[in-house]
Chains A and B, each alone.
Chain A
Amino acid sequence: DIQMTQSPASLSAFVGDRVTITCRASQRISSYLNWYEQKPGKAPQLLIYDASSLQSGVPSRFRGSRSGTDYTLTISSLQPEDFATYFCQQSSSTPFTFGPGTKVDIK
């Protein structure tokens, strides 16, 4: 199975800050990497698919990128509604696997 790691596990930030979350796969996943946001008691929501494609309806402050084996989710200017947990997920091969999550809270 492909193992997904994420860093940091949690972070505190101010509204307006630029936030970066990194995900790494244990094997090559050819940019089949997705990012989700999950708020407490709610289902995850797809933000980014194929490493860098913005899902329809998602604000443009969310950006996904890839550098080698590292995949990054960047929120350019953190908004109050962005305080949540973010998960990466590889869809390159089954079993699909998720990162452990990064909790973003208010500083």
Chain B
Amino acid sequence: QVQLVQSGAEVKKPGASVRVSCKASGYTFTGYYLNWVRQAPGQGLEWMAWIDPNFGGTKYAQKFQDRVTMTVDTSISTAYMELNRLTSDDTAVYYCARAPSDYYGMDVWGQGTAVTVSS
């Protein structure tokens, strides 16, 4: 079945970086965009960026422009999101979610990766 499986929970210190992976299965990896969305504890949803695995195109929310890097490894149908210079405000659950293109809703979501930033 179509699914996105994310890497496990992370605990990081302020100033560190975290990399979250998202492995796709059950569909053509290059046929869908991958979005990254985060949710701080008890808060709403915040879109961070998308990547087009087919051509490598990316789009970032300005808020994350200089701290987020997204990459893909099409040979293993996996996307990565790296967030640098972590602060306590980055404590959240991070989701990857696919969409047919940049105008469409996100129809398949990963299970989420909890990232805790604490000294």
Interface residues on B, range: 20 to 34
| Segment from B44-52, B66-74, B83-91 that makes contact with A | B44-52
**Closest A residue, CB atoms, query B99:** A91
Chain A proximity mask over B65-109: 1 for CB below 8 Å, otherwise 0: 000000000000000000000000000000101010011111101
Inter-subunit contact A55/B107 (CB<8 Å): yes
Inter-subunit contact A87/B45 (CB<8 Å): yes
- A residues within 8 A CB of B107? 46, 49, 55
List residues of chain A with CB under 8 Å of any chain B CB. 32, 34, 36, 43-46, 48-50, 55, 87, 89, 91-92, 94-101
List residues of chain B with CB under 8 Å of any chain A CB. 35, 44-47, 50, 59, 61-63, 95, 97, 99, 102-107, 109-112
